[in-house]
């Protein structure tokens, strides 16, 4: 066929008109699908289906336009229509109106979509500012007949959360903030708002002998729409594959981008020994309780896990985490616990360098035991790279090297990030207050610590630290009241030392000396930080004795007590003293000059 005749025939058969009209209508449908469907929470697969149907329909429309004509009697084949209307048909203008109307509606839908998107991003009235790629994993129900299997349900929840947390494109809330909720609550929307997430994962675990059933459902909290649900009936040896499949499916459903490293991390199987895995889960169960006796039980379980599988890196990381916290809960001195923590953390990293938990513990140990701020920073940064959603890494880092070095903006930013990932953690909220008063932002610190106490009025640590900025602002009586509240809630000797310190500053010397004697007697059989004695002697005006205790803390590797010596506002009365400044210089040596003397 002559090309000129072919194109003339296309024009005569109205193929051009149909193509233009189809394009306009297709654009309209695509705009509605992409701009309006998300507003009604219609799943993305429906949008993709509409686009595919529109694309597939174009050649069909062109073929129909070539083969058929629209006549007053209806649709007829072109050859029949030509025979019935040999002189041609009056030109129709309907297609022009179709194009104009479709184009106008498309433009309107386009700008409406952009307007509503901007309102949502800007947090306009009624708009949601929750990130779409965000999730909280609520506690899993233990459906096993044996209530002692609660540790297993909690462990499965924790391991799924940990796998998800390794995906940088997701925001994953830490378990500390989700544990207060039940597995299938009625007020999902309110919970999502409190945790600042768009999606919730609910689940249950049933364990019997060597069989396990795991049921999960992913829910959009705003609409209560079930995005995905599945039930897995597997052998106990397949539990890691189940956890990996759940994490991968959730990431895909939320359209999170996965790197090759993240895919491998999600699919990892930390041990082949089911007994070792169960001992590990029991260890984490007691570690999460955060008391001295429970940390000791956790250590026992982690050691049993290692006994079953000497190459179980996560068990070494759990062991390191437990030893790191012992002195913080008065269950051992740093001199006793931190060397064991360091050995366990190094072994964990040696076995698996991709464990954020191990690098986090190692960072804390290098700070507290070795006072090695540079390498501590490297370990924390490595941990955060490996697991950007690991709240503990941001928390310990923010409370660690940058705060000790006086890099307050950086420290507070890390603590704020930890709070975003674990918004209901009282320890993170309290330590944010500590960071603020260390930066001399006393009013902000007081507000933050009072907010923490509202979250948990019985959290003695927050009362203790609220007293410090009050004291630093000159409100010593109010500070003493907070110290006493803390003492009523816990027998931590640090709090007793703060009460003695306050009495000393108030001139009530006899009361201060009485508490000092009580602490000296207590130190015979229980760990009492050297810095506690230093604070009392400082308040009594005996600065030399205060510095003696700080020097002893340095000699005996009491890192948690003196890592903040350079910036701690409570030590300001000692600044300028030659012995004190010499101690600070030993802990924070000046950088060596790169220039050589002439």
Are residue 19 and residue 112 in the same domain, yes or no?
yes
Q: How far separated are the first and last CA of the chain, in Å rounded?
A: 93
The pLDDT tens digits of the residues spanning 36-46 come to: 665 555 666 66
Q: At what angle do helices 391-398 and 408-421 cross, to 10 degrees?
A: 160
23 or 286, higher pLDDT? 286
Half-sphere exposure of 392 (CA within 13 A, CB side): 21
pLDDT of residue 336: 86
Q: Which token pair is 39?
A: 């507003």
d(C-alpha 262, C-alpha 241), whole Å: 15
Residue 386 pLDDT > 90, yes or no? yes
pLDDT of the residue at 123: 41
Read off the pLDDT of each residue in 411-433 and give the average, rounded to a whole number: 95
Domain that holds residue 184: 134-269
Q: Mind listing the pLDDT tens digit for each residue in 553-584?
A: 999 887 778 999 999 999 999 999 999 999 99
CB contact at 8 A, 367 and 373:
yes
Mean per-residue pLDDT of the chain: 85
Answer yes or no: is 429 within a domain.
no
Say if residue 101 is in the same domain as residue 138: no
| 235 CB-near residues (< 8 Å, 6+ apart) | 210, 211, 212
Looking up residue 172, the CATH number of its domain turns out to be 3.40.50.10070
Residue 167 belongs to some domain of the structure: yes
Do 95 and 216 reside in the same domain of the chain? no
Instruction: Name the range with the highest mean pLDDT among 102-116, 148-162, 399-413.
Output: 399-413
d(C-alpha 338, C-alpha 244), whole Å? 33
Six-digit token string for 524: 């015979």
- Could you tell me if residue 442 is inside a domain? no
Residue at which a domain ends, from 236, 269, 302: 269
Would you state the structure tokens that stand for residue 298, as one six-digit string?
């956790």
Note whether residue 570 is domain-resident.
no
The residue from 55, 87, 121 where one domain ends is 121
Q: What is the mean pLDDT of residues 143-170?
A: 88
Confirm whether 369 is domain-assigned. Answer: no
* C-beta neighbour count of 517 within 10 angstroms: 11
Q: Does 315 map to a domain? A: no
How many domains is the chain partitioned into structurally? 2
User: What pLDDT shows up at residue 197?
Assistant: 94
> Do residues 186 and 229 share a domain?
yes
Residues 310 and 321: beta-carbon distance below 8 Å? no
The C-alpha atoms of residue 140 and residue 143 are separated, in whole angstroms, by 9
Contact of 480 with 467, CB cutoff 8 Å: yes
pLDDT at 9 over 50: yes
Q: Which residues contact 426 (CB under 8 A, 6 or more apart)?
A: 452, 455, 456, 459, 461, 462
Q: What are the pLDDT digits (tens) for 330-373? A: 778 888 899 999 999 999 999 999 999 999 999 999 999 999 99
Within-domain flag for 223? yes
How far is it, in rounded angstroms, from Cα 155 to Cα 305?
14
Residues 146 and 229 in one domain: yes
- The pair of structure tokens assigned to 427 is 């320890």
- Are 93 and 142 contained in the same domain? no
Same domain? 149 vs 257? yes
Pair (7, 108) in one structural domain: yes
Examine residue 243 and state whether it is found in any structural domain, yes or no: yes
CB crowding 276-302: b at 16 or more within 10 Å, else e: bbbbbbbbbbbbbeeeeebbebbbebb
| 60 and 85 co-located in one domain | yes
Question: Would you say residue 246 has pLDDT above 80?
Answer: yes
Query: Quick one: pLDDT at residue 101?
Result: 57
* Pairing of β 134-137 and β 171-172: parallel
Indicate if 191 and 239 belong to the same structural domain.
yes
Task: Answer positive or negative: Cα dihedral of 259, 250, 245, 389.
Answer: positive
pLDDT of residue 124: 38
Residue 548 CA to residue 532 CA, distance in Å, equals 12
Domain boundary among 203, 234, 269: 269
Residues 214-231: tens digit of each pLDDT: 999 999 988 888 899 999
CA-nearest of 382, 376, 437 to 563 is 376
Q: Is residue 213's pLDDT more than 60? A: yes
Q: What is the pTM of this model?
A: 0.74
Q: What is the CA radius of gyration of the chain?
A: 33
Percent of the chain with pLDDT over 90: 59
- Together in a domain, 144 and 247: yes
More confident residue, 140 or 35: 140
Q: Each residue of 494-539: pLDDT tens digit?
A: 999 999 999 999 999 999 999 999 999 999 988 899 999 999 999 9
Q: How many CB atoms lie within 10 A of CB 377?
A: 19
């Amino acid at each position: 066929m002559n090309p000129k005749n072919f194109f003339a025939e296309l024009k005569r058969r109205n193929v051009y008109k149909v193509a233009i009209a189809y394009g306009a209508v297709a654009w309209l449908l695509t705009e509605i699908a992409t701009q309006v469907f998300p507003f009604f929470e219609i799943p993305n697969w429906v949008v993709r289906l509409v686009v595919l149907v529109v694309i597939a329909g174009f050649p069909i429309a062109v073929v129909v336009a070539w083969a058929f004509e629209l006549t007053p009697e209806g649709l007829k084949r072109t050859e029949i229509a030509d025979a019935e209307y040999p002189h041609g048909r009056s030109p129709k203008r309907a297609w022009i109106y179709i194009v104009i109307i479709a184009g106008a509606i498309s433009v309107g839908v386009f700008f409406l979509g952009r307007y509503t998107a901007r309102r949502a991003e800007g947090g306009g009235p009624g708009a949601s500012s929750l990130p779409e790629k965000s999730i909280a994993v609520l506690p899993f129900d233990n459906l096993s007949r044996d209530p002692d299997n609660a540790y297993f349900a909690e462990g499965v929840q924790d391991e799924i959360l940990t796998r998800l947390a390794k995906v940088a494109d997701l925001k994953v809330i830490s378990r500390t903030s989700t544990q207060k909720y039940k597995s299938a609550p009625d007020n999902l929307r309110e919970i999502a708002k409190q945790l600042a997430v768009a999606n919730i994962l609910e689940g249950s675990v049933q364990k019997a002998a060597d069989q396990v059933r795991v049921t999960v459902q992913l829910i959009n909290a705003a609409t209560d729409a079930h995005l995905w649900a599945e039930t897995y009936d597997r052998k106990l040896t397949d539990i890691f594959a189940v956890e990996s499949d759940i994490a991968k499916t959730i990431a895909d459903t939320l359209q999170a981008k996965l790197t090759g490293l993240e895919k491998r991390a999600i699919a990892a199987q930390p041990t082949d020994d089911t007994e070792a895995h169960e001992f590990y889960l029991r260890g984490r169960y007691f570690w999460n309780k955060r008391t001295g006796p429970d940390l000791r039980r956790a250590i026992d379980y982690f050691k049993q896990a290692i006994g079953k599988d000497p190459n179980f890196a996560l068990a070494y990381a759990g062991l390191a985490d437990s030893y790191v916290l012992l002195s913080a809960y008065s269950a051992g001195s740093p001199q006793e616990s931190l060397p064991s923590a360091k050995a366990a953390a190094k072994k964990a990293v040696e076995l698996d360098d991709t464990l954020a938990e191990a690098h986090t513990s190692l960072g804390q140990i290098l700070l507290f035991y070795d006072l090695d701020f540079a390498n501590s920073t490297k370990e924390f940064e490595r941990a955060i790279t490996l697991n950007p959603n690991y709240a503990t890494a941001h928390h310990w880092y923010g409370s660690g090297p940058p705060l000790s070095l006086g890099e307050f903006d950086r420290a507070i930013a890390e603590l704020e990030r930890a709070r975003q990932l674990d918004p209901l953690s009282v320890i993170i909220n309290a330590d944010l207050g500590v960071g603020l008063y260390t930066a001399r932002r006393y009013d902000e610190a007081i507000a933050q610590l009072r907010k923490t106490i509202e979250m948990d009025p019985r959290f003695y640590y927050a009362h203790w630290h609220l007293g410090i900025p009050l004291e630093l602002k000159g409100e010593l009586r109010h500070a003493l009241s907070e110290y006493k509240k803390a003492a009523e809630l816990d027998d931590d000797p640090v709090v007793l030392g703060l009460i003695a310190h306050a009495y000393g500053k108030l001139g009530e010397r006899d009361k201060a000396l009485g508490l000092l004697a009580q602490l000296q007697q207590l130190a015979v059989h229980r760990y009492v930080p050297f810095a506690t004695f230093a604070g009392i002697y400082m308040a009594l005006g005996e600065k030399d004795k205060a510095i003696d205790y700080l020097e002893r803390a340095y000699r005996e590797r009491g890192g948690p007590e003196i890592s903040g010596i350079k910036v701690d506002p409570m030590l300001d009365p000692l600044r300028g003293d030659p012995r004190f400044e010499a101690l600070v210089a030993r802990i924070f040596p000046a950088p060596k000059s790169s220039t050589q003397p002439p």
